[in-house]
Amino acid sequence: MPDFIRLSSPNFNDRDPVAPLQYIVLHYTGMKTGDAARQRLCDPTAKVSAHYMIEEDGRIFQLVDEDKRAWHAGISFWRGVTDMNSASIGIELVNPGHQFGYRPFTPQQIRSLKPLLRQIIERHRLSAKTCLLAHADIAPMRKEDPGELFPWRDLAQQGFGLWPSPQSVDYGHAEDEDVQVLLRSVGYDCPTGTGYDRATRAALLAFQRRYEPNNLTGTPEKETVARLRALSRDAASG
C-alpha cells in the first residue's frame, strides 16, 4: 500500500455522472523539475491538476480526491466519451518529456505506480484490461505523453492493459479506411473515409508510441496494422 503525501490543488470540480469513471489516464509532467510541475498543478491560475503525481524517487503526491474531477485531460475523446476528466483518474509521472529531455521512467516510479493502479482499479471496479490510457491516446493531435519510453508492455504483462499478439491472418493488406475503422474500434478519435489525413496519422502514431515503440512512423506498415487488428479483437472480447 503506497503512502501518499497530501497536497491540495484548488483545480477541480464535481464529476459529471453522464461520463462515469472508467479510465485511468497516464501523463508525464513535461517540465524541467518535479517541483515546478507540482507548483503548476496546484496553481489556481494554471487551471490544471491531476489526482496523483509520482516523483522520480517514487514519492506519490495526492493533489485531488478521487471522487472529484481533476483537470488533466483537456479536449479529448475515447470510445465516444468527450468529458474524459469526469470519466477518469489522472496520474502524472515526473519526466521532462519530449521538450526538455525525455528519459526513461525510473524503477522507483513504476514500483510506486503499480500498487496505486491496483488500488484504484479495485476501489472503482475498473476493467484492468481496458481502463489504462495514455494522454496521447485520448488527444493524439495535441499530446505525446507519457510516450514510448513508458513500460506499456511490462505493465500489460502484469495485467494492466492489453498487449497485441498478432496471428498470421492479421498481416493481410489493409486500405486506409480499414486502418481508420480499426483505430476507431479500439477507441481513438479517428475519422473514417477521409483518406490518410492528419488526424489518422496522429492516432496511428499514438498507437505506435504504446504498442510498437521502436517504429514511430505514423504510417500503417504491416506490423502496425497486424498489431492494431490483434488489439481490436482483444478489446472487443473484453
Closest alpha carbon to 100 in 38, 148, 37, 30 = 30
Q: Which of 55, 92, 148, 212 is catalytic?
A: 92
Write the interaction track for Zn ion spanning residues 16-55; mark x where CB under 5 A is met and - where it is not.
-----------x----------------------------
Q: Quote the DSSP letter at residue 52.
A: E
Contact between 229 and Zn ion by CB under 5 A: the answer reads no
Torsion of CA 98, 165, 202, 34, to 10 degrees: -30
Return the number of the residue (19 or 133) whose C-beta is nearest Zn ion. 133
Contact between 209 and Zn ion by CB under 5 A: the answer reads no
Whether 122 sits among the annotated catalytic residues: the reply is no
Return the number of the residue (92 or 170) whose C-beta is nearest Zn ion. 92
CB of 84 to Zn ion, least distance (A): 11
Return the number of the residue (21 or 48) whose C-beta is nearest Zn ion. 48
Site size toward Zn ion (CB under 5 A) is 3
CB of 10 to Zn ion, least distance (A): 19
Q: Are strands 68-70 and 12-14 parallel, antiparallel or unpaired?
A: antiparallel
Residue numbers 44-103 binding Zn ion by CB under 5 A: none
Euclidean distance between CA atoms 36 and 40, whole angstroms:
6
Contact between 184 and Zn ion by CB under 5 A: the answer reads no
Angle formed by the axes of helices 222-236 and 176-186, to 10°? Answer: 40
Euclidean distance between CA atoms 62 and 144, whole angstroms:
23
Helix ranges, the chain (H): 34-41, 97-100, 107-123, 135-138, 152-157, 176-186, 198-211, 222-236
Residue numbers 129-158 binding Zn ion by CB under 5 A: 135, 145
Binding site for Zn ion (CB under 5 A): 27, 135, 145
Q: Which residues are catalytic?
A: 92
